[in-house]
Structure 1
Amino acid sequence: MTAMSDEQPPARKISVFGREFTMPRSRGLRIAIGVVLIIGGILGFLPILGFWMVPIGLLVLSYEFALVRRHRRRFVVWWERRRRPD
């Protein structure tokens, strides 16, 4: 039997274009992945890297930082209002 303190929180998942990806349990690793994606996206003019990495990096960081999460939610609300037929 394991103690309550040994239990890990549930794995976080992100959804990108309808596909779910499980993120690492380590907060530091999630932050590092988000930062690396953003830096790689800034260098998107180089081969292999692409500008598509910036929004994915921001999505990963939005699960860790309230400021990024707030902007992501505002963007989602704006996008849904824009797509809604009047």
Structure 2
Amino acid sequence: MRTEHAIAQDIEDRERRIELLVKRLPARMQNAVHWLRRPQARWVRMPAGAFFILGGCLAILPVFGVWMLPLGFLLLSDDVPPLQRLTNKALAWVEAKRPHWMGLPHL
């Protein structure tokens, strides 16, 4: 069984990694993502996450792009625990293997 400290550390690491990624977005998009991640915005966050995933699958069209997939999964993972575990692992991998994607210096 994991301790409360370990769980709190995982949550803190997740939020730090997400914030690093959000800072890479354009300012208007940052504001929208911060608004969507508020607990009260669940009713908008779930459909928006699904829309971003769908839009990422339609990346061949000019308005959509592959960048929409991870954002959609991050938005949905706030409310779907199995997705949260997967995105936590993915964020940890990105931070370790591709830190420049998060705006961190290369190691």
TM-score normalised by L of structure 1: 0.68
Measure, in 2, the Cα distance between the counterparts of 1:22 and 1:28: 12
Q: How many residues align?
A: 73
Identity of aligned pairs, percent? 29
Measure, in 1, the Cα distance between the counterparts of 2:57 and 2:87: 19
- Match for 1:22 among 4, 27, 35? 35
- Match for 1:44 among 55, 59, 67? 59
Residue of structure 2 in register with 1:71 after alignment: 86
Higher relative contact order (CA 8 A, sep 6+): 2
As a proportion of its length, which structure holds more strand?
Answer: 1
- Listed as ranges, the gaps of 5+ residues in structure 1 are 1-12
Q: Tell me the SS of whatever aligns to 2:85.
A: helix
Moved over 6 A (4+): none
Measure, in 1, the Cα distance between the counterparts of 2:70 and 2:78: 13
TM-score normalised by L of structure 2: 0.57
Measure, in 2, the Cα distance between the counterparts of 1:48 and 1:79: 26
From the CA coordinates, give the structure whose radius of gyration is larger.
1
